[in-house]
Amino acid sequence: MKELWNPALAEAESRWQQKAQALTTQAFAPLAEEIDRDQRYPIEHLPKLLDAKISGMFVPKEYGGEGASLTAVVAVVEAVAQGCASTSAILAALALGAFPILLGGNEAQKKALLGGLAERGDAVNFALSEREAGSDPSAINATAVREGDGWRIRGEKCWLGNGGHSRHFIVFARTATEQSRKAISAFIVPRETEGLVVDFYEDKMGIRGTTTTNLKLDVWVPADSLVGSEGDGLKLALATLTVGRVVVAAQANGIALCAYESARRYAVTRLTFGQTLIDHQGVGFKLADAAMNLSAARMFTYEAARAYDEGKDIGTLGAMAKLYASEVSHTVVDDAVQILGGRGYVKPNVVERCYRDQRITEIYEGTSEIQRIVLARAVKKAALADIGAGQ
């Protein structure tokens, strides 16, 4: 074993990883600095992802996809993030948008949207967050009321990853006035729907190659646009985010691996005070901690993905993986900048870019604080169950 732990992947998962590594080395990494500098969506990457069948790899075969496991998706996202975090974020957004259909859609919806993603790369967008309802999705203000044989949806959504390049939006809106878990429903809204407006693009700190947008809605959609049953929206959103957290953990690990590799190489070649940097304990210990914590973060992430593939509930484990991986990534990237010193602070330098790209992994798909709330509730539930059982 090298200094970093590596997962024991099945043959199919290993093939996906190798394919992603090759694409990243040849196509994604060479353009990463330019994409970040110009805040440019890498449109030229999309045909490559489609041709490699990566963009719809998780879509079941009956809908035109490859039926890849979540473990394979994690391996791919991690590999791509090591070369271009923006491209890995595009992949993560593709999965996030498609999973509500995969988990709750009917056959017609799955054939249309999942098939479109797998066969043409047509992105589906996860439109949940609002300016006043980010960490608390139950507080959304967008509404959907019955109008004729369909629904009138009004409201505004924000922070839509891939929003500028999505063909369909899964819009979560309030279908009841009371504050309850059954008050929210999910709807498919095609981009060309009259009254749908993507009105601006965010100017972001990191993952600048993605198009993160705002969405305004005053639209009518037919009754068959409803995903699942009326009132199932919040349940569907939370189930999707549970999967999304594992994917973000993989992205965080990939970014950290990129920064770690750069810092490791620099530390064994840079001479100061008559010896290499890594031979100074202040630097060597940082890299030792990075190797240990990165290995643990990857173990968490791959175990969560494996558990999902086995049909297990990963609500708690997924929160642990996302929380731990994103915060380890923060420390590893921060230490990498410190090890490179001035070189790590100026542009263009890969660790400077990693420093900005990493930060979002502690925010989207549930902030670190939200993950701790999830885990605290799990601790409380288990403790009360043990007390009730007389343990």
- Residues with catalytic function: 365
User: How far is Cα 311 from Cα 88, in angstroms, rounded to an integer?
Assistant: 25
Cβ 222 vs Cβ 150: under 8 Å: yes
Of residues 144, 219, 145, 147, the one with CA closest to residue 189: 219
The tokens for 330 are 């923060």
The tokens for 391 are 């343990």
Q: Tell me the β-bridge partners of 227.
A: 186
Cβ 113 vs Cβ 168: under 8 Å: yes
User: How far is Cα 340 from Cα 157, in angstroms, rounded to an integer?
Assistant: 40
3-state helix, strand, coil in the chain (%, to 5): 60, 15, 25
The tokens for 165 are 């390049």
Lookup result for tokens 């060479």: 30
